[in-house]
Amino acid sequence: MKDKKSNSRRKFLSTGLKIGVATAAGGLAAAKILEEPPKKSEKIKVLTTDGTVIEVEKPANDCKINPCSPAKGIEARKGIPGRSFVMVIDLAKCKNARKCVEGCQKGHDLLPDQELMKVYLMKDNPESEPYWFPKNCFHCDNPPCVKVCPVGATFKRTDNVVLVDADRCIGCKFCISACPYSARILNWENKETYASNDPDYSPETQTPGQHGVVSKCDFCPDRAREGKLPYCASSCPMGAIYFGDKNEDTVTNGEETLRFKELIKERVGYRYLEELGTEPNVYYLPPVNRMFPYERGFSNLSEEKKEILLKSISKP
C-alpha cells in the first residue's frame, strides 16, 4: 500500500510541470464529469423565494422514459413504446481505440475476453485501404437468431431491440450459429458474480449474468430510459458511434446531434451485408476522408496480433 502511494505521488510530481498546459484539457474533462448526474436517492438543496433553504428529493429529470427502471419479466419483452432505436457508426472516425469495447465490458460486467462490441480490421478489396470496423449486434428487423430460438429466450421488441432472457435460455447455441454477424457469445466460464434467477435481473441490463447462457449487445435500453447513450457510444473518444431513435429521426454521439435520414442520405450510409435480408438497425458511414490513417489503430496491439489481423484480411 505504502509503495503504491509514494509511487503515485512521484508521478504526480513529474506531471506537475505539465499542469499549465493541461489545464485547458482539464476544463473539457470537467464538463464531461458534470454530465454524470448525481446518485438517484440524493437530496438537493433549493433556495426558495424568501431566502430559506429547503432540501428536496432530487427530481427525476434524468428519467426520460417512464418507467425509468429496467423492465423485467414479460414487460421486458414488449419494448419501449414509440421508440425505434438505431445506431450509426462513422467508420472515418474509428481508430481502434477500443474504448467502446471496454466501456461495454465494464457496463455489462463481462469477462475481459468477452466482447459484445468488437472492432474488426476490414479490407473491401485488394486495392482499397483497410479500415477499422466496430461491430455490435445489428438488432435486425428480420432477425435470424430470434427465428430459431426454441424457447423464445431471445426476442425482438417493438423498439427494434433484440434481447436475451438469460433466465429462460437453455444454452442450445442455435442463435449463435444462426447469426451471420457473429454477434452472440456464450458465457463459457463460470464467473463469481453470476447468479441464476436473481430478482434484480433484467434482460435490458443483462446483469447479473448467468453461466452457460447466450449473451449479446442489448443496445442498452436501460440507459435509454435515463436519456443516456449506450456504453459504447458514450465512451468513444472520437464520437464515431451515433445512437438515436429512428422515429425521432435523430442520432447523436453525445456532442453532435444529427438528423438520421439526412445523415444516411448525404454520407451514403450502408448496412453491412445488406444482401442477407436481415435488415439491420446499425448503419455505417463509409470510411472516406478519414481522420486517422488505419495504422494508428495498431498502436495498442502487439506485432503478433497485428500480423494476425493483416493475415485475416488477405485473400486466400
Partner 1 sequence: MKPKYILTTALLFLFFFYYLPAKTTAAANIQKKTKTRLKVYYEKLANSDKKISIILFQGTGKKMKGIENAELVLTTFDLDNERQLTTIYTDANGNAMLIIEAKYLFPKDERGYSVVKVMYSGNDSLKAAQKKVKFMDLNVDVSFEIVDSIKLITVSTFEIDSIGNPKPIEGVKLNIGVERLFSTLYLSKIETNKKGIGTMEFPEDIAGDSIGTINVIVKIDDNDDYGTITKAKKINWGTIVDYSNVSENRSLFGDEAPLWMIISVFVVLAGAWYHFILAIYKVLKIKKIEPKILNEPL
Partner 2 sequence: MDSHLKAKELLEENKTFIEKPNKQWFLKVFILAVLICIGLYALVLQITKGHLITGMRDNVVWGVYIVNFVFILGLSYAGALIAGIFHLARVEWAKPLQRILKLITVFALIVGPVYILLCLGRPERLLNLFLYPRIQSPITWDLIAIMTDLIFCIVYLYFTYIKDFALLRDNSANLNLYGWRKKLYKFLALGYQNTPEQKKLLNRALDIMAAIIIPTSIIAYSLLAWLFGMNLKVGWHSAMTAPFFVLSAVYSGIALLIIIMWIYRKTQRLEKVFTDNHFLYLGFSLVILSLFYGYFYFSQYITDWYNIQETTNRLLSKYMDFSQYGIHFSVAIFMVAFLPSIIIGVPWFRSINSIAITSVFVLAGLWVMRYLMIVPVLETPYLPMQDFRESWVHYSATWIEWSLTIAGIAICVLFFVVASKLAPIIPISEMLEKKGENKFVIFYKTRRKLSKG
- Footprint of partner 1 on this chain (CB under 8 A)? 9, 12-13, 15-16, 19, 22-23, 25-27, 29-30, 33-34, 36, 38-39, 42, 44-49, 51, 53, 64-65, 81-84, 141-143, 146-147, 152, 155-156, 158, 224, 227-229, 243-245, 247-250, 252, 254, 257-259
Task: Compute the Cα dihedral for 22, 35, 238, 114 and give only its sign.
Answer: positive
| CB of residue 121 to partner 2, shortest distance in Å | 7
> Which of the residues 74 through 113 are near partner 2 (CB under 8 A)?
113
| Residue 48 site contact among partner 2, partner 1, none (CB < 5 to 8 Å, cut-off depends on kind) | partner 1
Quickly list DSSP for 85-147: EEEEEETTT-----HHHHHHHHHTT--TT--SSEEEEE-SSTTSPPEEEEE-----SS-HHHH
Q: Is 157 in the site for partner 2 (CB under 8 A)?
A: no
| Residue 198 site contact among partner 2, partner 1, none (CB < 5 to 8 Å, cut-off depends on kind) | none
* Buried-state track 137-171, b at ≥16 Cβ within 10 A, e below 16: bbbbeebbbbeebeeebbbbbebbbbbbbbbebee
Contacts of 79 (CB under 8 A, 6+ apart): 157, 158, 159, 160, 161, 221
String of contacts with partner 2 for each residue 227-256, x by CB under 8 A: ------------------------------
3-state secondary structure 209-256: CCCCCEEECCCCHHHHHCCCCCHHHHHCCCCCEEEEECCCCEEECCCC
Phi then psi for residue 245, to 5 deg, are -115, 120
Nearest CA among 109, 105, 90 for reference residue 231: 105
Identified binder of partner 2 from the candidate list 65, 178, 195, 238, rule CB under 8 A: 178
Q: Is 195 in the site for partner 2 (CB under 8 A)?
A: no
Identified binder of partner 2 from the candidate list 214, 217, 240, 251, rule CB under 8 A: 214
Q: Is 316 in the site for partner 2 (CB under 8 A)?
A: yes
Q: Is 16 in the site for partner 2 (CB under 8 A)?
A: no
Identified binder of partner 2 from the candidate list 37, 144, 208, 269, rule CB under 8 A: 144
Cα–Cα distance list, 111 to 90, 192, 206 (Å): 27, 11, 13
| Residue 190 site contact among partner 1, partner 2, none (CB < 5 to 8 Å, cut-off depends on kind) | partner 2
Nearest CA among 142, 166, 172, 115 for reference residue 273: 142
Cell 433484440, located at residue: 162
Q: Is 171 in the site for partner 2 (CB under 8 A)?
A: yes
Q: Is 151 in the site for partner 2 (CB under 8 A)?
A: yes
Kindly state the cell numbers that stand for 208.
447479473
Q: Is 36 in the site for partner 2 (CB under 8 A)?
A: no
Q: Is 147 in the site for partner 2 (CB under 8 A)?
A: yes
| Residue 268 site contact among partner 1, partner 2, none (CB < 5 to 8 Å, cut-off depends on kind) | none
Interface with partner 2 by CB under 8 A: which residues?
113, 118, 120-122, 135, 144, 147-153, 168-174, 176-182, 184-190, 210-214, 273, 276, 278, 305, 308-309, 312-313, 316
